[in-house]
Structure 1
Amino acid sequence: MKRIKRLLSYGGLFTVLTLLLSACTNTQTHRTPPTGFIYGPIYHWLGLPMQHLITWMAKLFGNPPDYGWAILLITLIVRLVLLPLMLSQSKSTLKQQHRREAIKPQLDDIQKRQAAATTSEEKAALSQEMMTTMKENGVSMTGGIGCLPMLVQLPVFSALYMAIQYSPAIFKSTFLGISLGQTNIVVAVLAGLTYVLQGYLSLIGLPESQKKQMKTMMLMSPAMTFFIALVSPAGLGLYFFAGGILAIFQTMITNFYYMPRIKAEVAEEIKKNPPKPVAKAVVKPKPKTVTSAAAAKPKRNRNAGKQQHHN
């Protein structure tokens, strides 16, 4: 659990650094390759090899070289390499979602008691009960969502950016009338819209309770894609756009091929092994501590005055 959170944090940090790199670099003019302590080695090990690869692939499409088609070919290769991993992650996520739905009554009950809890001890005990319930029923706290495909693609993003930005030939080239080295809002919008559609398709077939949780992620991914494409060369935006189209096909494969099979598989598992109930957390209230001053103070007999007055 902690390792996954750490990976997600590193992935987010790397994405932020990529955004800063794109935003701080002027994409309107070609720049000389970096030689600094940080960016020099990154360009040497990522940007330069990608530049050579794009140039070699571009020559396969005729003379003069067509760098746009080369970027599209690289996109296809990257997505095909990652396809088994992404499909495996999609299957794992779907299984987790359906298992979580099976124990939803138990989780809802714990959440209601958490909302009514008044002490830190009660809240801690109920949080432990929540984790135990999910663990006993094979449900992950992260819902099966992994960040490995994104982490694998981050070096590709950086390499493509540097290859386009620091290669005069690629920077000045055009594809379908689009300058690959300049920012292009049309490409950025198209890239964002493809991931909006992909996110919408990924919600099909999910329970309503889980759709609400997934909508935030569905909006975040297109927004970040649009922003990165907006401040980066259009060649990188072209990579996002083509990747989004391939992601749509991947999501359709998951929805129409894997989802019915996974639903049947999870239903069979639940039939054989029904959800395990977990003992409810019981927190004993702490005894009230009596201060020394209160303990030393003598108790007054309320009936003493009445008895004296009567006499």
Structure 2
Amino acid sequence: MKKLKKKLTLVGFAFSALVLLAGCVQTVKNSAGELVPTGQGWVYNILVRPMSAFVDLFAIHSDGTKWLDYGWAIIIVTLIIRLILLPLSLNQQYKSTYMQEKTAYLAPVFAPLNERMKRARANKDQQGMMEAQQALLKAQKDNGINMMASIGCLPILLQYPFFIALYNAARYTNGINSSTFFGINLGSSSGSWPGFVLIGLAAVFYALQSVIMYFGMPEEQRKQQKMMLIISPAMIVFFSFASPSGVTLYWVAGGLIIVLQQVIVTYFIKPRLKVKIDREFKENPPKMTDLPKDVTPVASSAKAISTNRKSSKAGRNAGRQKK
């Protein structure tokens, strides 16, 4: 439950940051009642204006004549930026997945300390909880577990300016408000027909990403992740209803890359990491921490780990058969 709350908080923070930074673009209403940028502010001049020019590059000739639909221009620019950032995103997910898989592998080693922590929490024993927490952190450190090292703020900080620029470029680039894409007015709200089509596509892509991630998890982790199957697409649908169709088209194009990224992580990176971790601990067996007197150790850590790995593989195979 705590892990789910943390992930929900992270998702909420990401979308809140997106909306907050998007709101940094100063706008006024024109004669038609539409919101247009004032041209002032560092967010617009440093991020949005160059990205708008990049979109125009694929939509307008140098002589001012239009040669490509603005909808296709949004898609092309979004795919280019997402593909440029893909190696950075994959590297971050590689580190995060490595630590997650390593922690799952060592679950039997950490089980006695986790059990002690649960008992202390149930008994409201603050001293016992602190001791168990310290012992767990030591056991994780002894076995090379450092979840903070896999988080890393730099990749997130590098990606957000591009996403904010793309979001606002899709919303405020001159010409987009008067353009159509397969009969969809890019300047009108997505929450009306035929903008519903783009909302549906965005929801499908983000839901597909969640499903691929879900089936790549061991059976015991899936119970904690069921809620996440609907959170991401639900958030996209919510924001799409309040956004112009040009912005929703940006989310649709970005969703393609997100699905590709999840496929790479689930079916290429994760299996190789499991093999790597198995080899690492075969060469250097897990280290057992000095357990407190009131903690019952696992009878055989090697045997327990072997059983845990077999159970994990069985769960993944069951997921494939269900598919």
TM-score of the aligned structures, taking structure 2 as reference length:
0.72
Q: For the residues of structure 1 that align with 2:202 and 2:221, how far apart are their CA atoms?
A: 26
What letter is aligned with 2:132? L
Q: For the residues of structure 2 that align with 1:273 and 1:81, how far apart are their CA atoms?
A: 37
| Structure 1 residue 138 displacement after superposition | 1.6
CA distances 1:111-131 after superposition (whole Å, capped 9, x unpaired)? 221121132111111111121
| Structure 1 residue 188 displacement after superposition | 2.4
Q: For the residues of structure 1 that align with 2:157 and 2:274, how far apart are their CA atoms?
A: 29
How many residue pairs match? The answer is 271
| Structure 1 residue 244 displacement after superposition | 1.1
Structure-1 residue corresponding to 2:270? 259
| Structure 1 residue 243 displacement after superposition | 1.3
Report whether the alignment pairs 1:45 with 2:46: yes
Kept in 2: contact 1:11–1:147 (CA 8 A): no
Q: Superposed, which structure 2 residues align to 1:57-136 within 5 Å?
A: 57-59=58-60, 63-117=66-120, 118=123, 119-136=125-142
Superposition RMSD in Å: 3.2
Kept in 2: contact 1:188–1:227 (CA 8 A): no
| Structure 1 residue 271 displacement after superposition | 0.7
TM-score of the aligned structures, taking structure 1 as reference length:
0.75
- Work out which of the residue numbers 220, 224, 230 in structure 2 matches 1:209: 220
Structure-2 residue corresponding to 1:34? 38
Structure-2 residue corresponding to 1:175? 181
Match of 1:32, SS? strand
- Greater radius of gyration (CA): 1
| Structure 1 residue 222 displacement after superposition | 2.5
Report whether the alignment pairs 1:162 with 2:168: yes
Q: For the residues of structure 2 that align with 1:233 and 1:147, how far apart are their CA atoms?
A: 30
Structure-2 residue corresponding to 1:139? 145
Kept in 1: contact 2:178–2:185 (CA 8 A): yes
Taking only the aligned residue pairs, the percentage that are identical comes to 35
| Structure 1 residue 78 displacement after superposition | 1.3
- Structure 2: unaligned runs, 5 residues or longer: 1-9, 295-323
| Structure 1 residue 93 displacement after superposition | 2.7
| Structure 1 residue 89 displacement after superposition | 2.2
Match of 1:171, SS? coil
The change in CA–CA distance for 1:161 and 1:13 in structure 2 (over 3 A counts) is: closer
| Structure 1 residue 279 displacement after superposition | 1.4
| Structure 1 residue 32 displacement after superposition | 3.0
The change in CA–CA distance for 1:158 and 1:182 in structure 2 (over 3 A counts) is: farther
What letter is aligned with 2:187? G
